[in-house]
């Protein structure tokens, strides 16, 4: 035997000692006779690796060959001690340094060499225990880092080697422990899991796990982790069910729960629950769980765990299992189609509406369509197919997420300005653009003498506005669907619309001691203004009032008389005729239909406490109330409602729409979510199954059954939604103070349950009422992130506080046990509904309150606002024109508004300047449930019609064409997303049907006409609301940014594009507090190719084509950070949008007008021309919210959970967060 030649330390000038030892080992590898030297060198390396982190780091640094030398030696050596030394060295390397060193070892081929070593060692009889222990330990650590590990292990035959070792050495815990750890890794591959199951691994695991024991807890934990992984295979889960192991798991869990009083074995208890969670992924497992009384067992044990926060992981997992096993039910409805039916003039050939019309008759619908709600799982899948269809190319899993919805075809991205309709056809829109030809002869303009065009910032005196009244007379009469007509405009020169008379209230009777409703709910004293002559008897007489008795007659109705400082009470005009409590008074208004106000609260106006504090909450208002006159007129509103056509022929008016709404004078912060509220609500839902005798299950409101009996008991709430924009279909009393609410589908649809607006009465103060809206469809909601529903109290309105306020506590949004069939869900299997739950304490007894998803804004309110704007504007200064674009399917008019500045004189240059102003085209409310869009539009309209010098400058710069409500029918009938055609109108822009989508067809026609006459709008913007994000932001269109977000990022460098599309959003981000530039996106998606934004950009050729999305919740940045958004902020956004257009004018206009510098203090360097894409696509980050603490409760039925391996010595206190990814975390496509 040759002597080991040790190289002197001095000769290692720049190399460490370990480098020298590795060099010696590499030299020894070439001489198979030097086993002693290899043993000696590896022992030295082991000593250094055990004692020095520096050594371990040097061996695994990039470029180091140390690991390769060790693996080569391990592969070639026949010496047992050398093998053990190298295995010990590798153990040291992967035991510290995290996953990076394990990945380094895999990259050097370590997993393949170690698997081969396992094979070779297994041939010894008996196998060397230490080699097996170390090899299994290392493989268990590096296996998860090797994407091909499952395949390699199966090909090498390692599965049966490890399994047989466990079977043969069941009592040798030192050997069994690493074997179980490796089996856990093997089982991550479902093919391996099935193979192991066939060889009896499931039965083997149940020989290891058992009742409570203080011994071998580490082995028990690993065995349970392995079992949970194995049971994810349907084959193994069925095997476990067939052998009665579900009952065994429950028995073991109860035993550990009872004996682990000091909570030292939480990981073992959670391991049992994880196994139950896996086995209940199949229908047989859920049935076995129910049969074994699992619901009650887990409910009781989880309730006992609530006291200790460290046991939250057990409570969360138990909750998930119970909700998964909760029997699926269909909604208690005769059909999930809308309660209302509207016969379409044309039935589409394809699509969901065509499918809906092709269904069997209504009497058979419950059997063939709706009741087909089954527990759809793949229990009958062939076992062999499960293995054969396994995707073994795990390389795909490592690829970065790719959004397939992004348009990648450059040809489709390039704008194609094609008229689409003939010039002759487009001439039908000429009369809607009189501003292009009107010479204003005969109109008394400001100056008859020509003068330089300089804006002086003065407000001119009123003169008669030129109108097209003569033209209108020729177009009067009934409007036809799809035919563009013009509404006769009624200009009032010397008088405005008659307003109702108010009672004169002595100032000494008025108390300025208002307190906010929020303060009242905190238990502080209520303060109410008292009106002269108002008493309880009179208010009680105002139970029901017909609308006919209200207009223009003093003393027959209710109206608002609220001053800016809110110190005056709401004036109540006395009805001269008392009405029976439950009867209707008044005569028929028209066509035999009686229109009524909803039931008024019967307790009268409460008197204020004279000793209350005098400080008014008005001082704390976040935004000043403008001095402009209010646009709300109750009498006018009633008159307009009479002409509004609804499918249900509504005969009532909701009090909030009649009284009107003013923003409350206090801030409404985003609600802070108390920890544990969601699981408490879910536990109460689970109690419905466990304690069924406690459930009342009584229908108290039902649109489908007009003969249902309204309960007479005084402690039962009364509901109503039979008014414009109302949506509530059915109410079921569950417990004494808990109600399930079901929303109506959009007409001619069986989907889109989100918008709600309903009335509640008969409440008692001091009682917590829980409301559950149980048929929501979206997978997540801002109700999980601090948003509250809106509530309007009639009693508060009578007390001079007529406003919607955010209301409700214990709010959460989660998946429930109601489900749709795959047919009803449009082919999506097992589609579940979601619940919005909130709790309300009403401040007044027998009040009448209204709840809404967002601030209601009805079609009648729009018509009222337009009439008020028309009657109040200065016709000498403002050119205002209101036309009818077309008639909707149900016969309502779709208004088209034109606003600009009147020409300064008849001088040719002024007329030319008037005609050649660039167009701004705005639209809103294509989705009825996005009422915030209408409030933003209201802010835009009011600003454009104001006397503000900047507004006058804006009018002189642009001609505004505005369609404030693209979907009147949907708004009127309480739809959330569709028109009466049952289709999303914002997906019809490519090929709108004039019979089914008249508003879209003719709006597109207007834009096509402008393109044909070479007057493309400078900006097109469609106002929307967003239910999943905070702030206000924009979506635009950019070829460059779209290509940049595809996999071929280099291609974007070749695209030349004007970045002017970013100008307006960038301006708004600087001037509008609620606007957030980082949330904007300019990517074009395939799913949006039929939206207004994309079609107007691509087909019409408008570069600045936008969708402006306003949050339904609130803001998380800027001035309003932490606050829920209100109508004040939404209207402000509409005004700021106008100011942004004014600043855009300076940046885009070739002419420099002498504009006040204060209006245009804008830095030209604001716009970045480098086109840096920082914003995500619309859908890559579907939610911009962090995960909330109880997300596990939300993802109750996700069967593709990602399990995170816990170390053996993990502290159970740190294991509380559930390792389940919710549906909300996966990227999805959601339309705006």
- Catalytic positions: 1109
> What is the distance between the alpha carbons of residues 951 and 964, in angstroms, rounded to a whole number?
19
Enter the tokens of residue 585: 């008074």
The token duo for 215 is 């011994």
Structure tokens at 776: 């929501």
| Cβ neighbours around 215 below 10 Å, total | 8
Q: Determine which helix (DSSP H) or strand (DSSP E) holds 1020, and give its type and residue range.
A: strand 1019-1026
Phi, then psi, of 550 in degrees rounded to 5: -90, -50
Residue 392's CB: how many other CB atoms inside 10 A?
13
Tokens found for residue 221: 């934990």
Give the residue among 600, 599, 500, 594 at the shortest CA–CA distance from 552: 500
Q: Distance between CA 516 and CA 621 in Å, rounded?
A: 11
**CB neighbourhood size of 332 (10 A):** 14
CA distance 983 to 349: 13
DSSP notation for 103-158: HHHHHTTHHHHHHHHHHHHHTSSSPPHHHHHHHHHHHHHHGGG-TTHHHHHHHTTH
State how far the Cα of 1032 lies from the Cα of 1011, in Å rounded to an integer: 29
CA–CA separation, 525 and 515 (whole Å): 8
Tell me which residue has tokens 């009403």: 842
Q: Is 143 exposed, middle or buried (0-12, 13-18, 19+ CB in 10 A)?
A: buried
From 564, 569, 568, select the one nearest 618 (Cα to Cα). 564
Closest CA to 517 of 799, 247, 297, 291: 799
Q: Are 1192 and 319 in contact (CB under 8 A)?
A: yes
Nearest C-alpha neighbor of 548 from the set 586, 495, 593:
586
Q: What is the C-alpha to C-alpha distance for residues 973 and 989, in angstroms, rounded to an integer?
A: 22
Taking every pair of C-alpha atoms in the chain, what is the biggest distance, in angstroms? Answer: 124
**1024 to 145, 170, 790, 1114: CA distances (angstroms):** 46, 65, 19, 15
DSSP 829-856: TTPEEEEEEEEEE-SSTT-EEEEESS--
The pairing of beta strand 919-924 with beta strand 1019-1026: parallel
**Structural contact between residues 531 and 571, judged by C-beta atoms closer than 8 angstroms:** yes
Cβ neighbours, 10 Å, residue 160: 14
Of 740, 730, 679, 749, nearest to 303 by C-alpha is 679
Give the integer Cα–Cα distance in Å for 697 and 1170: 63
What's the burial of 1221, exposed, middle or buried (CB within 10 Å: 0-12/13-18/19+)? middle
d(CA 59, CA 69): 10
How many residues are recorded in the chain?
Answer: 1232
Residue carrying structure tokens 């509504």 = 650
760 strand-pairing partners: 719, 849
Angle of helix 294-305 relative to helix 312-325, nearest 10 degrees, comes to 160
Beta bridge mates, 880: 899
């Amino acid at each position: 035997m040759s002597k080991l030649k040790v190289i002197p330390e001095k000769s290692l000038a720049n190399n460490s000692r370990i480098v020298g030892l590795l060099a010696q080992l590499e030299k020894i590898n070439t001489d198979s006779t030097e086993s002693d030297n290899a043993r000696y060198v590896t022992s030295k390396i082991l000593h250094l690796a055990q004692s020095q982190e520096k050594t371990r780091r040097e061996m695994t640094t990039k470029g180091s060959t140390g690991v390769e030398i060790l693996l080569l030696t391990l592969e070639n050596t026949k010496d047992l001690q050398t093998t053990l030394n190298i295995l010990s060295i590798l153990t040291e390397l992967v035991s510290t340094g995290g996953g990076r060193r394990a990945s380094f070892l895999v990259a050097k081929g370590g997993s393949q060499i170690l698997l081969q070593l396992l094979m070779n060692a297994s041939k010894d009889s008996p196998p060397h225990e230490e080699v097996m222990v170390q090899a299994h330990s290392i493989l268990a650590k590096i296996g998860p880092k090797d994407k091909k590990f499952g395949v390699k292990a199966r090909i090498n035959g390692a599965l049966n080697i490890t399994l047989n070792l466990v079977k043969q050495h069941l009592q040798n815990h030192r050997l069994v422990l690493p074997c179980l750890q490796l089996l856990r890794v093997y089982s991550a591959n479902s093919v391996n899991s099935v193979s192991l199951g066939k060889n009896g691994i499931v039965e083997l695991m149940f020989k290891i796990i058992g009742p409570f024991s203080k011994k071998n807890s580490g082995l028990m934990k690993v065995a349970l982790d392995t079992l949970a992984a194995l049971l994810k295979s349907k084959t193994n889960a069925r095997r476990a069910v067939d052998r009665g192991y579900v009952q065994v798991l429950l028995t073991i869990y109860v035993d550990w729960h009872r004996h682990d009083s000091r909570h030292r074995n939480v990981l073992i208890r959670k391991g049992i629950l994880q196994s139950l969670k896996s086995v209940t992924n199949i229908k047989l497992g859920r049935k076995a769980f129910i049969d074994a009384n699992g619901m009650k067992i887990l409910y009781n044990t989880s309730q006992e765990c609530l006291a200790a926060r460290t046991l939250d992981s057990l409570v969360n997992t138990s909750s998930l299992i119970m909700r998964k096993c909760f029997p699926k039910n269909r909604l208690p409805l005769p059909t999930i189609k809308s309660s209302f039916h509207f016969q379409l003039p044309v039935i589409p050939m394809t699509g969901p509406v065509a499918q809906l019309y092709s269904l069997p008759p209504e009497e058979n619908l419950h059997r063939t369509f709706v009741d087909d709600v089954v527990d759809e799982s793949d229990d009958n899948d062939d076992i062999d197919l499960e293995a054969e269809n396994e995707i073994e190319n795990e390389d795909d899993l490592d690829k970065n997420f790719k959004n397939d919805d992004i348009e990648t075809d450059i040809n489709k991205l390039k704008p194609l300005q094609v008229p689409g309709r003939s010039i002759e056809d487009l001439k039908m829109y000429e009369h809607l653009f009189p501003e292009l030809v009107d010479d204003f002869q005969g109109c008394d303009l400001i100056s008859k003498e020509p003068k330089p065009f300089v804006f002086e910032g003065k407000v001119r005196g009123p003169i008669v506005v030129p109108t097209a009244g003569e033209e209108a007379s020729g177009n009067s009469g009934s409007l036809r669907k799809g035919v563009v007509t013009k509404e006769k405009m009624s200009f009032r020169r010397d008088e405005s619309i008659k307003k109702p008379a108010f009672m004169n209230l002595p100032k000494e009777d008025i108390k300025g001691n208002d307190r906010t409703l929020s303060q009242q709910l905190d238990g502080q004293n209520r303060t109410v203004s008292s009106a002269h002559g108002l008493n309880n008897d009179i208010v009680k007489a105002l139970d029901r009032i017909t609308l006919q008795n209200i207009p223009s007659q003093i003393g027959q109705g209710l109206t608002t008389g609220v001053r800016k400082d809110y110190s005056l009470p709401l004036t109540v005009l006395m009805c001269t005729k008392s009405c029976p409590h439950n009867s209707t008074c008044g005569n028929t208004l028209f066509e035999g239909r009686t229109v009524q106000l909803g039931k008024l609260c019967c307790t009268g106006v409460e008197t204020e406490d004279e000793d209350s504090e005098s400080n008014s909450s008005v001082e704390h208002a976040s935004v000043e109330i403008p001095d402009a006159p209010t646009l709300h007129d109750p009498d006018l509103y009633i008159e307009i409602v009479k002409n509004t056509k609804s499918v249900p022929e509504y005969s009532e008016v909701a009090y909030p729409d009649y009284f009107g709404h003013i923003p409350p004078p206090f801030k409404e912060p985003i609600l802070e979510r108390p920890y544990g509220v969601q699981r408490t609500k879910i536990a109460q839902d689970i109690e419905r199954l466990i304690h069924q005798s406690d459930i009342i299950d009584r229908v108290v409101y039902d649109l489908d059954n007009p003969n249902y009996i309204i309960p007479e008991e005084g402690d039962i709430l009364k509901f109503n939604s039979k008014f414009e924009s109302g949506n509530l279909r059915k109410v079921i009393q569950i417990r004494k103070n808990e109600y399930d609410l079901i929303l109506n589908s959009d007409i001619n649809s069986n989907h889109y349950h989100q918008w709600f607006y309903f009335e509640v009465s008969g409440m008692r103060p001091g009682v917590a009422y829980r409301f559950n809206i149980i048929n929501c469809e979206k997978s997540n909601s801002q109700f999980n992130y601090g948003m509250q529903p809106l509530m309007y109290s009639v009693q508060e309105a009578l007390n001079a506080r007529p406003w919607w306020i955010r209301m409700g506590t214990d709010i959460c949004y989660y998946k429930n046990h109601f489900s749709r069939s795959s047919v009803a869900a449009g082919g999506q299997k097992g589609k579940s509904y979601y619940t919005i739950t909130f709790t309300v304490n009403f401040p007044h007894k027998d009040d009448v309150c209204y709840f809404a998803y967002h601030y209601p804004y009805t079609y009648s309110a729009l018509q009222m606002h337009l009439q008020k704007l028309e009657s109040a504007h200065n016709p000498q200064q403002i050119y205002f024109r209101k036309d009818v674009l077309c008639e909707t399917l149900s016969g309502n008019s779709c208004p088209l508004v034109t606003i600009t500045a009147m020409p300064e004189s008849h001088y040719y240059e002024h007329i030319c300047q008037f005609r050649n102003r660039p167009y701004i085209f705005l639209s809103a409310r294509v989705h009825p449930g996005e009422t915030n869009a209408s409030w933003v539009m209201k802010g835009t309209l009011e600003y454009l019609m104001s006397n503000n010098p900047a507004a006058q400058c804006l009018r002189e710069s642009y001609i505004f064409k505005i369609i404030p409500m693209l979907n009147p029918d949907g708004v009127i009938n309480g739809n959330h997303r569709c028109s009466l055609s049952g289709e999303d109108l914002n997906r019809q822009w490519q090929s709108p049907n004039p019979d089914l989508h008249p508003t879209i067809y003719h709006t597109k026609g207007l834009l096509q006409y402008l393109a044909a006459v070479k007057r493309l709008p400078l900006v097109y913007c469609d106002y929307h609301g967003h239910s999943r994000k905070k702030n206000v932001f924009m979506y635009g269109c950019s070829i460059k940014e779209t290509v940049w977000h595809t996999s071929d990022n280099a291609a974007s460098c070749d695209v030349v594009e004007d970045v002017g599309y970013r100008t307006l959003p960038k301006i708004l981000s600087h001037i509008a507090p609620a606007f957030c530039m980082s949330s904007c996106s300019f990517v074009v998606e395939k799913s949006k190719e039929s939206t207004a934004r994309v079609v107007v950009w691509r087909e019409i050729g408008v570069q600045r084509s936008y969708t402006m999305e306003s949050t339904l919740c609130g803001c998380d940045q800027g001035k309003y950070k932490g606050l829920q958004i209100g109508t004040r902020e939404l209207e402000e956004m509409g005004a700021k949008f106008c100011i942004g257009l004014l600043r855009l004018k300076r940046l885009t206009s070739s002419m420099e007008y002498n504009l006040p510098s204060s209006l245009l203090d804008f830095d030209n360097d604001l716009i970045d021309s480098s086109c840096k894409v920082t914003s995500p696509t619309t859908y890559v980050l579907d939610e911009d919210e962090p995960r909330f603490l109880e997300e596990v409760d939300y993802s109750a039925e996700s069967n593709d959970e990602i399990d995170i391996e816990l170390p053996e010595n993990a502290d159970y206190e740190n294991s509380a967060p559930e390792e389940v990814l919710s549906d909300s975390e996966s990227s999805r496509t959601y339309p705006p």
